[in-house]
Amino acid sequence: MSMDNDILEVLLTREEIKGICERLGEQITKDYEGKKLLLVSVLRGAVVFMADIMREIKLPCEIDFMSISSYKGASSTGVVQFKKDLDINPEGYDILIVEDILDTGLSLKYIVEILKTKNANSVKICTFLDKPENRKADITADYIGATVPNAFVVGYGLDYNEKYRNLPYLGVLKPEIYTK
């Protein structure tokens, strides 16, 4: 059975996603010229976006990863669990957090607060998707790929119970899949 059968609607095609990465990469390249850029991906969902966007940034940059968890199945628990810290000391870097989706904002606000205590020159956010309808924390991204409606989206790194991350597009998951 194909994963495509579980998708209600395609929101962003592979080609549209490529255009988003090119646009963001061009802007980030301009904004970070002459700076010591550290891209920080939030595992696991953002790894696909991180790989694509870093290839579009035409500057020297370093990458590192953090891991937190606040979701169980289809919904946020509201409790952020820290699983992996940075390997690189961020002092003196301009950090750009690369995230898959800015949803409630609780997890990302937590990450930003932690990174701001580590003596980085700056901490900004680049998110593939912004879902403002669901926001619970006072936080906005500096770079936004696309704004999406309050629907359960999967593909291009985003998952439901670790499935669908490998879809090359962004789709809305059929409700009967996650309400079983």
CATH of domain 25-151: 3.40.50.2020
Q: Which residue has the higher pLDDT, 145 or 80?
A: 145
Domain definitions of the chain by residue range: 25-151
Question: Per DSSP, which regions of the chain are E strands?
Answer: 7-12, 37-43, 61-72, 75-84, 94-102, 122-130, 143-147, 153-154, 170-173
Q: Which of 46, 159, 157 is nearest to 98 (CA)?
A: 46
The H or E element that residue 30 is part of is helix 14-31
Query: Catalytic site residue 103?
Result: yes
List beta partners, residue 158.
155
pLDDT category, 110, cuts 50, 70, 90?
A: confident
Q: Which two tokens stand for residue 135?
A: 């926001």
pLDDT in tens, 118-134: 999 999 999 999 999 98
- Cα end-to-end span (Å), the chain: 18
pTM of the entire structure? Answer: 0.91
> What is the percent of the chain where pLDDT is above 90?
79
- Taking each continuous run of H as one helix and of E as one strand, the counts in the chain are 4, 9
User: Are 52 and 39 spatial neighbours (Cβ–Cβ below 8 Å)?
Assistant: no
- Active-site pick, 52, 94, 100, 103: 103
